[in-house]
Amino acid sequence: MKFEQFQFLMERVLEQGEGEMPAAGQVSALAQAYIGDAVFSLYVRTRLLTREHNKVHILHSYDSRMVSAAFQAKGYRAIEADLSDEEAAVVRRGRNAKSTVPKSATVAEYRASTGVEALLGFLYLDQRQQRLQELLDCLFVAIIAEVKPAGTRKSRRADQ
């Protein structure tokens, strides 16, 4: 995309003002993943607050790991068998959507996490709050079981 096109789109987005939230079927799989990423991140941050609410730097270290592609892919494997045919199709569309894979994840992890985020975004936009909550809870439980605190380093004096 040329810079002029980018500028035009940025101005257009900001000019349009208030509108209705689009239905899940009206947006692309990547747009669903964009929303799903925000939904999952907010959910994880809120759940972590129930465990610790004073040490924000600790919360951030767990949050950033839990919402990473690697851990979302692990969470996906925990819920995959429980998805309906429709949900599995949404995940497939998200997984197959063309996007750039960051260096922090493998292609398989990134594709799986994009699929999960697309599903979460789809359920959010389709206002299926109960199912969204069920999947968020399952993902959180699966991911928290995988997250292990980083080992504390011993001081050199303790080793001597």
Instruction: Summarize pLDDT for 36-95 with one digit per residue, the tens.
Output: 999 999 999 999 888 777 788 888 888 888 889 999 999 999 999 999 999 999 999 999
Of the residues 37, 63, 82, 159, which is catalytic? 37
**Confidence band (pLDDT; 50, 70, 90) for 152?**
very low
pLDDT top residue among 10 and 154: 10
Three-class SS string for the chain?
A: CCHHHHHHHHHHHHHCCCCCCCCHHHCCHHHHHHHHHHHHHHHHHHHHHCCCCCCHHHHHHHHHHHCCHHHHHHHHHHHHHHCCHHHHHHHHHHHHCCCCCCCCCCHHHHHHHHHHHHHHHHHHHCCCHHHHHHHHHHHHHHHHHHCCCCCCCCCHHHHC
Instruction: Summarize pLDDT for 86-122 with one digit per residue, the tens.
Output: 999 999 999 998 887 777 788 899 999 999 999 999 9
Q: Domain segments of the chain: what residues?
A: 23-148
CATH class of domain segment(s) 23-148:
mainly alpha
Whether residue 126 lies in the annotated active site: no
